[in-house]
Amino acid sequence: MNPAPGEGSLWVMTHPKQTNGEAEAPLRFTRVNAALGAAGLLSLVAGYWLLSQGSITAAPLLLVLGYVVLLPLAIIR
């Protein structure tokens, strides 16, 4: 017998079955994603480097730009 949820069992979530006949769109990694990801990583490296040099204005701006704007855009775009 299968134990009830919450009784030490491991439940794996699966995708619901397609009922409307539409297939899921495959994930695509394009040059735009790569460019945004590279810009995000470059922004983070520059931000941390400036932070180590004592910058209190440019470093936080670059870090926020990288973490909040560029990397999420690289993932969802």
Residue 36 is which amino acid?
A: L
Task: Quote the tokens at residue 18.
Answer: 């397609």
pLDDT of 22 strictly over 80: no
List pLDDT tens digits, range 27-58: 788 999 999 999 999 999 999 999 999 999 99
Question: Residue 68's closest CA among 28, 31, 53, 60?
Answer: 60
pTM exceeds 0.95 for this model: no
